[in-house]
Amino acid sequence: MARKKLKRFEDNAQYKHVVEPSREEAAKGIPQRGCWRDWFGRDGRLVVELGCGKGEYTVALAKTNSDALHIGVDIKGARLWYGATDIVNEGLSNAAFLRTEINLIDGCFAEGEIDEIWITFPDPQIKFKRTKHRLTHPDRLEQYSKLLKPGGIMHLKTDSEFFHGYTLGVLQNRKDFLVETAYFDIDLQLTKKDSILHTVRTYYENMFRNKGKAITYLRAIKKDVNKKI
């Protein structure tokens, strides 16, 4: 293993704001599950970015909204290191990273604990045999629905028109989510140019924009299915 990567793993292990449970620990339930606000030592909306990569969005969201608590989730420790180091350099106390597989987040967050979920530029997994690996597959949405509180928000930002359309179709067949907003090109459709959808750009977004690809966005609200109309 490259020396630089080993050094990043060592740094992550020393960072108090990086949580790295084993697969077995995550499957069983980590101590922070249901207690993230206590772990941060403060109250606030809990905002989770899934597949956060280098953590650009997690860090930017934390800087933009200091009243909320932000957690980036990814399995790649060498990538998380960038965001984890930015947290130190920026002196942020409302951001953290969780290194685990996304299919294990049930053991990392309690039902109704999360206020917002962000999914930014995921692998669209276009091949049919990879369908179950899509981050908005029905199995994953079932998972997110349990972890989001009623009224919670799921954001998806992607360059893939295929993935955007796939997600819209899946969401519209569910009773627990309401698609509130769907943009097929945020540069053309979004009027507020100071929105974080414009001002924060990940490595992949810049790469896609340089190729002339449209950036899509959708926002879905978790319904309170038990609420009587």
Distances (CA, A) of 133 to 16, 78, 83, 143, 162: 30, 21, 24, 13, 15
Does residue 9 fall inside a structural domain?
Answer: yes
Flag whether 229 is in a domain.
no
Active site residues per annotation: 123
Does residue 196 lie within any of the structural domains?
yes
Tell me phi and psi for residue 38, to 5 degrees.
-65, -40
pLDDT at 229: 47
Mean pLDDT, residues 45-54: 96
Mean of the pLDDT values across residues 27-50? 97
Domain with residue 169: its CATH number is: 3.40.50.150
| pLDDT attached to residue 49 | 98
**String of DSSP letters for 115-163:** EEEEEES-----SGGGGGGSTTSHHHHHHHHHHEEEEEEEEEEES-HHH
Q: How many domains does the chain have?
A: 1
Domain that holds residue 115: 3-222
Q: Check: CB of residue 72 under 8 Å from CB of residue 49.
A: yes
Assess if residue 75 is contained within a domain.
yes
Nearest to 118 by CA among 193, 191, 219, 187: 219
Domain membership flag for residue 227: no
pLDDT tens profile 208-224: 999 989 999 999 999 98
Assess if residue 70 is contained within a domain.
yes
Residue at 73: amino acid letter: V
Residue 129 to residue 179: CA distance in whole angstroms: 27
**Cα-based torsion angle of the residue sequence 95, 119, 213, 182 in order, rounded to the nearest 10 degrees:** -120
Q: With respect to residue 228, please indicate whether it lies within any of the assigned structural domains.
A: no
Q: Is the pLDDT of residue 188 over 60?
A: yes
Count of other CB atoms within 10 angstroms of residue 139: 10
Q: What's the pLDDT score for residue 60?
A: 93
- Measuring CA to CA, how many Å separate 152 from each of 11, 21, 116, 155? 33, 26, 6, 10
Task: Give the model confidence (pLDDT) of 110-156 as tens digits.
Answer: 999 999 999 999 999 999 999 999 999 999 999 999 999 999 999 99
| Domain-located, residue 131 | yes
